[in-house]
């Protein structure tokens, strides 16, 4: 099943945004997964063309963050989508900080920082309003209600249309929603990261909030293309991820084996089966697989037309139950 198909659209939670059944995670275009020279010039024109091609193929939901490539990812997305701004739904995030001197990551949810980040993202994206603004990671030192209150002010001022939170628990989702309606929650969710099913997803469905899975292909592992850690470049951050140790990769090959067996029956790929499984969980689940190549984009799009049957689901549940993944997420 290698041909792509145009995507239908679904409502994003209880918002007035309608997004493609699959969105595009833009992080990997110039951050983390590929070598990056620090100038923002790596394949920029090619990446801008790629983003517009994704839109032409029916994908209108684009996800970025001020943290990706130190803001250069937002610049890239903004330039690419400027000519077609009204056709695109742009989501970005704030809250993760980086200290260049100490090379350490932090989290900041202070109200004054929220406003500063929003103004900077508006400028980098070159837009008047951000469609969906996520709190990227929740700051344990700042009351969640204070951060959401500052985000709500941005909505009132017309700088942001809808709010979201990322990597949030069910209790945090409910607290955030009590301050201002939450349109979407972006948590890691895939066949090897099913934690949202026990906590976040029930809260989302209780409140009418969409769940937007990031890393729906297990950071690329579920594609079956990563047989060993040596397949990753020296600069690839996954080399330091516990799930990509040689021991964990060997233990997790069962995921690829099961997906490959199902894929063979459907004339599909392992990646398409992994995405089709997520899409089967409900229209309130809108995965955002990352990609930087047209062939991979076409492959992902085709997954939206793939229908898994009861036999497929039974096999997945029997062979790949929740909690069977080797290695922690981070």
pLDDT at 228: 84
pLDDT at 236: 78
Within 13 Å and on the Cβ side, how many CA atoms surround 7? Answer: 29
The answer on pLDDT for 11 being more than 80 is yes
Domain extent for 119: 9-221+278-293
Give percent of the chain above pLDDT 90: 83
Query: Residue 255: inside a domain, yes or no?
Result: no
Q: What are phi and psi of 179, to 5 degrees?
A: -85, -45
Antiparallel, parallel or unpaired: β 89-94 and 96-99: unpaired
Instruction: Tell me the average pLDDT across 144-157.
Output: 98
Query: Residue 140: inside a domain, yes or no?
Result: yes
Q: What is the CATH number of the domain that holds 150?
A: 3.20.20.100
pLDDT digits over 73-116, tens only?
999 999 999 999 999 999 999 999 988 888 889 999 999 999 99
Query: Residue 69: inside a domain, yes or no?
Result: yes
Query: Residue 229: inside a domain, yes or no?
Result: no
pLDDT at 7: 79
Find where tokens 């695109």 sit. Answer: 88
Instruction: Tell me the average pLDDT across 6-18.
Output: 92
pLDDT at 6: 60
Please name which of 95, 167, 93, 97 lies closest in space to residue 133, comparing C-alpha atoms: 93
The answer on pLDDT for 36 being more than 70 is no
Find where tokens 């090897």 sit. Answer: 192
pLDDT digits over 310-329, tens only?
999 999 999 999 999 999 99
Instruction: Tell me the average pLDDT across 184-213.
Output: 97
pLDDT at 5: 46
- Active-site annotation, residues: 68
Q: How many domains does one find in the chain?
A: 1
CB-CB contact of 63 with 20 (8 Å)? no
Query: Residue 37: inside a domain, yes or no?
Result: yes
The answer on pLDDT for 155 being more than 60 is yes
pLDDT at 35: 43
The answer on pLDDT for 38 being more than 80 is no
CA distance 260 to 70: 37
Query: Residue 60: inside a domain, yes or no?
Result: yes
The answer on pLDDT for 3 being more than 60 is no
pLDDT at 39: 43
Query: Residue 319: inside a domain, yes or no?
Result: no
Return the SS3 of 27: helix
What average pLDDT is seen over the chain?
A: 92
pLDDT digits over 215-272, tens only?
999 999 999 989 887 778 777 778 889 999 999 999 999 999 999 999 999 999 999 9
CA distance 189 to 198: 12
Query: Residue 327: inside a domain, yes or no?
Result: no
pLDDT at 238: 85
pLDDT digits over 53-72, tens only?
999 999 999 999 999 999 99
């Amino acid at each position: 099943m290698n041909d792509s198909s145009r995507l239908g659209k679904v409502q994003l939670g209880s918002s007035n945004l309608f997004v493609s059944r699959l969105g595009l995670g833009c992080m990997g275009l110039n951050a983390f997964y590929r070598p990056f020279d620090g100038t923002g010039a790596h394949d920029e024109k090619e990446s801008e063309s790629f983003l517009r091609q994704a839109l032409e193929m029916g994908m209108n939901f684009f996800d970025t963050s001020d943290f990706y490539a130190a803001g250069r990812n937002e610049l890239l997305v903004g330039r690419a989508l400027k000519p077609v701004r009204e056709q695109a739904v742009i989501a970005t995030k704030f809250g993760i900080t980086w200290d260049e001197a100490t090379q350490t990551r932090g989290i900041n949810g202070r109200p004054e920082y929220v406003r500063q980040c929003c103004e900077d993202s508006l400028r980098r994206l070159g837009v008047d309003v951000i469609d969906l603004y996520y709190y990227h990671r929740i700051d344990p030192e700042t009351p969640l209600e204070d951060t959401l209150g500052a985000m709500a002010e941005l909505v009132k001022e017309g700088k942001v249309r809808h709010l979201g939170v990322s990597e949030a628990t069910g209790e945090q989702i409910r607290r955030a929603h009590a301050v201002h309606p939450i349109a979407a929650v972006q948590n890691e969710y895939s066949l090897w990261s099913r934690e949202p099913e026990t906590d976040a997803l029930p809260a989302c469905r209780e409140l009418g909030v969409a769940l937007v899975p990031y890393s729906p292909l297990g950071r690329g592992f579920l594609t079956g293309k990563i047989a060993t850690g040596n397949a990753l470049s020296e600069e690839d951050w996954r080399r330091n991820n516990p799930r990509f140790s040689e021991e964990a990769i060997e233990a997790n090959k069962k995921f690829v084996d099961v997906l490959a067996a199902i894929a063979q029956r459907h004339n599909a790929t392992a990646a398409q089966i992994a995405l089709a499984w997520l899409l089967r969980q409900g229209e309130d689940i809108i995965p955002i697989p990352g990609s930087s190549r047209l062939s991979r984009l076409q492959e992902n799009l085709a997954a939206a037309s793939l229908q898994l049957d009861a036999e497929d689901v039974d096999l997945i549940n029997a062979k790949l139950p929740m909690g069977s993944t080797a290695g922690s997420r981070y």
